[in-house]
Structures are given as structure tokens and as C-alpha cells.
Amino acid sequence: MKMLHYWLEFEESMGKSWDKYLNKKVHKFHEDARVNFEDISKNLHIFHRLMGGAKAKELRITDKRYVETSRTLLEKISFLGKEFFLSWQDEEALYLPASFAYFATKEHNEMLYYWLVALGAQVGTITNHNLLEENLKAVAYLRSRYSGFDTFYKEATAYLMQKYEQLAFLELLDEHSNADLIATYPNPLWIYPPAITPSAALKSDADEEPLREEGKDKSDELQMKKQSEQIDDKHETDGFLAFLPESLMSIFEQVNVDRCEDDSFDEDALYHAEDLDEITVGQKQANLSARIKMDLELLPDNTVTYPLGKGHYVDEWDYQKNDYLKNYARILPQVTMNVVPVELPQRLKKTVKKIQGELDMLKLDRIKNDRLPYGDELNIDSWIEYMSHQNKSMHHQNFYTTYEKKTRDMATLLLADISLSTEGGITQEMRIIDVIKDSLMVFSEALEKLEDKFAIYTFSSLQNKKVYFNIIKNFKDSYDALIRGRIESIKPQYYTRMGAAIREATKILDKQESANKLLLIISDGKPNDEDRYDGRYGIEDTKKALQEIKKKGITPFCITIDLDAKEYLSYLFGRNGYAIVRDGAKLPKVLTEVYINLTK
Amino acid sequence: MSKTYYLPQANEVELFHAAAQMKLPVLIKGPTGCGKTRFIEAMGEQLGREVYTVVCHDDLSAADLVGRHLISDEGTYWQDGPLTKAVRNGGICYIDEIIEARKDTTVVLHSLADYRRVLPIDRTGEVIEAHPDFMLVVSYNPGYQNVLKGMKPSTKQRFISLSFSYPKPDIEKEVIIQESGVDADSAQKLVDIASEIRQLSDTDIQEAVSTRLLIYAAKLMVRGFDAYDACMHSIVESLSDEADVLEVLAKLIELHFPKADNA
């Protein structure tokens, strides 16, 4: 028994070293120069917009795809060279490999990302038929326009052709080349269609088991959205098989997404996913990144939402009737009780400090007072005026100027949308609502420093009967740990009946006596609610509410994280009445900067 | 013969001449560095009128426009401000960035900007009728978002408006070559860079690169600076302070003008 055990162990270690040897032999990657998408994704996003890529398009990570190729003998022995990271794009996003290590230097591998992003922004819709044509066209354009890309492309192609003999066809290519040629070996410098057609019919190499890549960074897999293949079920012209027949009976087809019984789902899925050549994802957006919420170590939540009064009604605009629906939406003011006072979180301190430093330099609060009988500086103008006047005795000798530290005559109401959509993630760890909370805190710190008057309210709605209007801080409250506690206790709920909330905010601002009044709205999308308050109805009502507020001399301004927002926002707020924050994580800083810009 | 170089973008020259003839005031809006001031200078030369420029700021008072009393050995005397000078002698009074001035300051312009064409000076009790060659021109940059500032509609609605934007690529290229003497190839690349940077809307950078900055870059290149360095110092660093944006812009420049040590 013991003997057998040893033997098995021996065999396993032998297998491992053989595997290692082969991998080394066949893998032509430069691990020390590997560049990860994640490290430069931020820059790539900006670059994508710079290159004229569609603004709302995302950049995502793709997984390996199975491609039928001609392989070298060693590759065949090691089962390598079957799966490739290809770049591809659809309406929503450009999909790039998680990391590159083709080239010997980091600069080149990084450049490959930039190249692909530029190419992605340049090419049109790529199908199996125009793959060659589109790529060649875009490549030619980029090479002629950017000498940097030209050099890179030349170097990269030469290097790749030398490393991968199958790529030699690149040299022979022109627009008239046979399209079949390109499918012989995938070129990492091109953008591929969402679904690729193998050039030859699928051969049945049934014995070959899918290979697991050893020594590969697991973290890649963890953060990767397995979007490698989308079934091209809209255009069914090319007779493409979305699965490999030979793996049909294996673990390929079913990973139980409904996982109420499967505790270790994530691990298993990862394990299986690694083993697969392809993962097919349907067009339906299943919520794969759903999370289980468990408040394990937290104190029990004692907060209670306490209604303030029975609520009151505001009008709503019905664009179809072209008239107001009188007292249609019911506003329910609320306040959260039993909140725990909170100190400013450590992660925000740096931002706050930086912004406060900027505020110091601005000296927004210095107000010049002229013509005083005493003061810091002599005002020569008033003296000359006095001297030049015919009848000096009629005038007072007020020749002085002072700079007074004075609060500005500003009242700002910050209205935050906390509908359920804010539960959505900006990144895996950060939800929109978290960013909004952070922004509220940073903003409060800044306005506290400026000594400007401000109030914070949040809103959400459940049809016209329930428009919840939560008080975080009214104009009289002073900003302290308790207010921060209230900010911390904000929870996303329900929908966005924006018009009603704006009307309620208008009422509150209208009672303020400041000369300048500002309504700042933070939102993550269009107005919408369960009932017909969606689409045009919601937008028209919000538009009407904004017209009303402008009539009262209050300036509305909207900051949104909604990338597609441009259309309706400029309709609602006017060209200069909104700002879109592309990088949600920057919202705290941007919000405060927008405020300073608006009021300086 | 006009000495100031100005290449028209559209029909702005004809419009301006017509407005000058009919004694109508003109409002010019456009982003920074797109040629507003240059346009006025060129027009002044073409029409043979002097240009009095006032750049507005927060503390600009009506006295800065109209004039004030000053002291001499004999006592005080009245000194005309730029606006009054132009009104008296004829000429173009160009009020730049009018939005920066407080709203109440600009109200003095009202009586000049309609059919009355008079300037009352309350300190001296004078009412000056405008010279036939007097013309009022104001400009501002509509891109700034501000609650406290902005033009009163009553001021805005007294002007003929010309809207400027960055010139079209071929015109911009021509302007860069003329202004700096750089070769056509580099000018084309600068225009390419600009058209790409202008795709980054106001969320990544506050305002896109101006023609003025492109000319600066071209001038540095003519002076013998490496093209990459010239662009970095004149274009990239002026546009943003955000590290990630800077990095990407640097990358873009490098794609057009490879760094000296790589080439």
C-alpha cells in the first residue's frame, strides 16, 4: 500500500516536471515583462476616448478562446497552441486579454494594449467576412497617422513572425488575400469578431483533453468576467457551432448558477472554468456578480426611519395632458433615528485635506469693503473723488478699504438620488452608493470650511404615493459626527421620482434668505418609477420642475455617473447645467470642485 | 493693408464689417485661444480704427471703464477711461471676458449698446454722444459654469453674436504654419493631436487644447526643441494636472512624435 503511494507520488512529480519542461519549451512568453490590463486600464479608458472610441463603450477582460490552428509538433505534444487570448468587440465593450507577455520588454507589451485600443476605436463592426479587410484598413490608417504606431507595428510583426512560424502569412497579406489564410493562426495585433468561424470543419481530436495551464496566476481568473464567447444568435448565417461536440459530455455545459444549494460554487466554477476551452455566455445578462450580504461582525442595525408628519402633496406635470396633476405626488419626509456618530473615515482624509488646501489658496471668503471711515488700506479713489468734489463738506471722509472674512451669501441644497440602481457596482468592491456617501462627506467638509450654508437630502420613491424625502442635514443643523452617521446609514431603496423631489427641494430653498441659491443633484441615471414615470413622462416632469425652480431664481446643477446621460441631461439642465463623472471613484473630488467652480 | 495675420473661418469678417457700418455692437463667444482677440485686432486694422482693450476681472469697477479723477500739482483732473476714449475719438472698445466683471458694472454699457449710443458720466455730469466710428465689442467664454457669474439677459440681448470655435483642421494647419514657420508635416501632426485631444470632453480635461497652444508648440519646435519635448511643455502640461490623463496624453504625443532617444 505504502509502495503504491510512493509510486503514485513519483509518477505525479514526474508528470509535473515533464509538463513544466514542455510549457517552457512551447511557451514563448516573457513572464518578467508581463503587463496586466488592470494596472493600466484607467489610462486605456482615457486613451480610448482620445482615439475617438464611442464614449459609453467599456473595456473589459476577455478569456481564452479555442481556435483551430496549425501547430508545431511540440505544441501538439503539450496540447498548447489551441487556446488564445483574442481581442474582440461588440456594441458594449472592447474585450482585451488580461495580460500580455508576448514581447521581451514591458514597453512593448504595454504598447500592444494601446495599439489594440486604438485599433478597436478605429475598426467598424468586424464579422468573419470582413475581418481581414477591416483590420488591414485600420492598421494602415494608424500606421500612416502615428509614426510611433508604425514603428511598433513593424517591430511587433517582425518579432511575432520570427517567434511563431505560423504567422509568416502576415508578410504576404493584402486586401485580396484569401480570408481562410488568416484563420490559420490568430494574430495578437488584430481585433477579432465576437464569434469566430474556424477555417476548416471541426476536426474531431476527441482524445485530447482540455488542458489546464499550470502555474498561471489565479487572481487573473478570479477577477475575470468570463465573456469569452457570446452566442451569435442574432445572425445565424455562418452555421457556427458555439460548443465543442467532444466536450459536450464533460463538465462544459452546466455550472449551476442558481446556487442555493451549492455552497462552494465559486471555487468549483473557477475550477471548471479553468478547464474549459470556451465558456458560452448567453445574451441575457445573468447577474453573475450577485453577492450574498451578511452583516456578520457588524453591530446590529438599530436605525429606524422615522416619518416626520403624515406627508404632503406636490403637483406633477403630465405632458400628455399638457397640464399639472394637482397634488399628485405625496412627499414623505423622514429622518433616520438611532444613528451612531461617525468620525471622518480614514480613506477620505487625504482627499479632504487636499481640497481644503485648495480652498485656502482661493480665499473665497475675502470680501472687499470700500469707503469706510477706518480700515486696513487707504482707498485712493475715494480720496480723489472727495478732493475733486465741488462741495467737500457734503461728503464723509470715508477713505478706507478692508478685507473682511465673511461667509458668502450662498445656500446650497444637495439632493442625492438613492434609488436601488445605486446599489450597482463601479468596481467589484465599490458600489455607487458608497461613492455617493463619500462624496457627501467630502462635500460637507469643504462647505464647512467655506462656511457656506448647505443642506443635504436624499430621495427615493415608490410610485406617486410614496416619495421618500430623507433629511440628512437641514440648513439649521450643524455638520458633525451625527450627520456623518446619517450619511453612513443611507441605504439604497426604490426608484427615482426626480420631479417631485426637485419640487420639494425648491420649497425648502425658497425659504432661505441667501442671495444665491444652488440645487445640486447627484444622480446615477434617468428619472424613473414603477408606474408610468419612466421615459418621456419622467423626463418632461423633471424638466417642468427645473423650469419652476429657475423661475424662483435658484440655479439647478446635476452631477451624474450615467455615461449615456448626455442626451437627456442637456435637455433637462441645459448645456452648462450638468457634469458627467466618468470615473465614479473621482466623484467626491469632482463634486466639490464643481461646487467651487460654480461659486467662485 | 493689414499687418495682423488672420485667416477667416467662415463669414465672420463680412458680418463684422456690416455691423461696423450699421453701428451695431458685437458679442463674440468662444473657447480660450481660438482667435477672438486676434480677430478684433485684425478687424481694427482693416477698418482703420484703434482698438481699446479692457480685460475684465472681479474688481473691475465702472470707473475703470469710464474714467476717474487723478491728482496733479494743481489739484485733481479727469482722466478718461478706455471706454470713454473710444466713445469720444471713435474706435473699437473691446471688452474681453465680460463675464468676469460683476453684473452691475456692465450696466454702464447699456446706453451705448442700443440706438441711443450715448455715455452718461455722472461724476462729471457729461453725456457724451458716441463718435460715428465708435464700436462696442464684448467677448466671453461660454464654457465656464458658474452660478454667481453670467451675463444678464438684458446685456446679452443688445448684441449681434458671433460664435467662434477652434478652426477646421486645414485652416488651423495654415494658421500654425503662418504663425510659427514650422514645416507642413509637423503642423499636420499638431492638428491631428489637437483633434484627438478635443475628443476628450470636459470630464477628463477642463477645456480642450487651443490653437494658441499649438502655435506655442510649433514655435518651440522651430526654435530647435525636440518635437516631443515641445509638445509636452506647451500642450500636455497646460491641459491637466491629473497624473493618469497626463500619462495618456504623453503617450499620444509619443505616438506622433517619437521621443528623441528612441528615434
The answer to whether the Cβ–Cβ distance between B201 and A384 falls below 8 Å is no
CA distance, residue A226 to nearest chain B CA (Å): 28
The pLDDT, as a whole number, for residue A262 is 46
The pLDDT, as a whole number, for residue B192 is 92
**Which of A50, A384, A594 comes nearest B252 by C-beta?**
A50
Where do the structural domains in chain B lie, given as residue ranges? 12-163, 169-256
Question: Which residues on A lie below 8 Å from B81 (Cβ)?
Answer: none
Closest among B91, B85, B80 to B41, alpha carbons compared: B91
Confidence bin at A212 (pLDDT 50/70/90): very low
The answer, yes or no, to whether residue A596 has pLDDT greater than 70, is: yes
Question: Which residues on A lie below 8 Å from B258 (Cβ)?
Answer: 147-148, 151
pLDDT digits (tens, 9 = 90+) for B171-188: 999 999 999 999 999 999
Quote the cell numbers at residue A417: 438620488
How many CB atoms neighbour CB B245 within 10 A? 19
* Residue B71 φ/ψ, nearest 5 degrees: -105, 140
Dihedral sign, Cα of residue A242, residue A245, residue A251, residue A255: positive
Question: Stretch A149-173: mean pLDDT, rounded?
Answer: 80
**Which of A47, A114, A582 comes nearest B203 by C-beta?**
A582
Residues A266, A245: Cα–Cα separation, whole Å = 26
Question: Which residues on B lie below 8 Å from A597 (Cβ)?
Answer: 144-146
Confidence bin at A87 (pLDDT 50/70/90): confident
CA distance, residue A311 to nearest chain B CA (Å): 32
Residues A462, A419: Cα–Cα separation, whole Å = 10
Spatial neighbors of B194 by CB under 8 A, at least 6 apart, are B166, B172, B208, B209, B211, B214
Quote the cell numbers at residue A519: 440645487
Question: Which residues on B lie below 8 Å from A519 (Cβ)?
Answer: none
Q: Cα B34 from chain centroid?
A: 7
For residue A114, the chain B residue with the least C-alpha distance is B251
CATH architecture assignment, domain B12-163: 3-Layer(aba) Sandwich (3.40)
Quote the cell numbers at residue B245: 490623463
Confidence bin at A397 (pLDDT 50/70/90): confident
Question: Which residues on B lie below 8 Å from A47 (Cβ)?
Answer: 248, 251-252
Question: Which residues on A lie below 8 Å from B199 (Cβ)?
Answer: 49-52
The answer to whether the Cβ–Cβ distance between B147 and A46 falls below 8 Å is no
The answer, yes or no, to whether residue A276 has pLDDT greater than 70, is: no
* Residue A312 φ/ψ, nearest 5 degrees: -145, 170
Size of interface A-B (CB pairs under 8 A): 98
The answer, yes or no, to whether residue A187 has pLDDT greater than 90, is: no
The answer to whether the Cβ–Cβ distance between A50 and B197 falls below 8 Å is yes
Interface of B with A (CB under 8 A): 59, 63, 68-71, 75-76, 78, 123, 142-148, 192, 196-197, 199-204, 244-245, 247-249, 251-252, 254-258, 262
What angle (nearest 5°) sits at the alpha carbon of residue A222, between those of residues A219 and A227? 125
Question: Stretch A110-127: mean pLDDT, rounded?
Answer: 87
Closest among A534, A513, A396, A403 to A463, alpha carbons compared: A534
Question: Which residues on A lie below 8 Å from B192 (Cβ)?
Answer: 145
Question: Stretch A63-67: mean pLDDT, rounded?
Answer: 67
pLDDT digits (tens, 9 = 90+) for B44-84: 999 999 999 999 887 788 888 998 888 788 877 889 999 99
Higher confidence at residue B70 or residue A112? Answer: A112
Indicate the average pLDDT of chain A: 75
Residue entry with cell 495580460: A99
Question: Stretch A145-158: mean pLDDT, rounded?
Answer: 89
The answer, yes or no, to whether residue A3 has pLDDT greater than 80, is: no
The pLDDT, as a whole number, for residue A229 is 44
Question: Which residues on A lie below 8 Å from B251 (Cβ)?
Answer: 43, 47, 114
- Which of A115, A388, A569, A594 best tests the B interface by mutation, with the highest count of B CBs <10 A? A388
The answer to whether the Cβ–Cβ distance between B197 and A518 falls below 8 Å is no
The answer to whether the Cβ–Cβ distance between B69 and A384 falls below 8 Å is yes
Integer Rg of chain A from CA: 31
Highest mean pLDDT among A283-287, A337-341, B21-25, B147-151: B21-25
Q: Which domains, and CATH codes, for chain A?
A: 30-200+217-237 (no CATH), 304-360+408-599 (3.40.50.410), 367-405 (no CATH)
Residues A453, A412: Cα–Cα separation, whole Å = 6
- Which of B251, B254, B261, B262 best tests the A interface by mutation, with the highest count of A CBs <10 A? B251
Q: Taking a C-beta distance cutoff of 8 angstroms, is the pair A300, A306 a contact?
A: no
Indicate the average pLDDT of chain B: 87
